[in-house]
Amino acid sequence: MRDSRDRSTAAARAVELRSAARSVAYGARVEGLAGPGEAYVVLGCLGMTSQATQDGARAVAAWLVDAQEARRLTVREGPFVGEPEAAVAVVADALTRALAAGAEVQAQLERAQIAAADIGALPPRSPGIRQGSRRW
C-alpha cells in the first residue's frame, strides 16, 4: 500500500504540470518559436501532455470510485453534504465528458503535428533582391 507521501507527490506533480504548461504557453506567445522544427516539437509535447492529462483524469476517477465503494469518503459542506455518492457520480460524469473532449483535442494535436512535420523555413532574403509575393 502507498503511503501519504505518494499521494502528495501526485498533487505536487500536477502543480508542476500546470507550471510547465503555463511556461510553454508564455514561451510560444511572448518569446516566440525558433522555427518550424520547434513548433513541431511543441505540438508533439502538447499531444503527449494531453494523453497524460487524460490518464491522470482516469486515475482520479478510478480512485474516487474505489474510495466511495469502500465507504472512505464524506462530504461535510457544499451542495453534496452527506451525499458522497452523488458527488463522486458528478465527478465521474464530468471526467467522462472531459475525456471524450480530450480524445478529440489529442487527435487534433496529432493531426496538426503531422501537418507541421514537413514545414520548413525559407532562407533569409538577400538585400537588394526583389522577390514577388505569392498568394495561396
DSSP 72-110: -----SSTTTT-HHHHHHHHHHHHHHHHHHHHHHHHHHH
DSSP 8-class letter at 123: P
Banded model confidence at residue 6, pLDDT cuts 50, 70, 90: low
pTM for this model (two decimals): 0.77
Q: Specify the higher pLDDT residue, 126 or 59.
A: 59
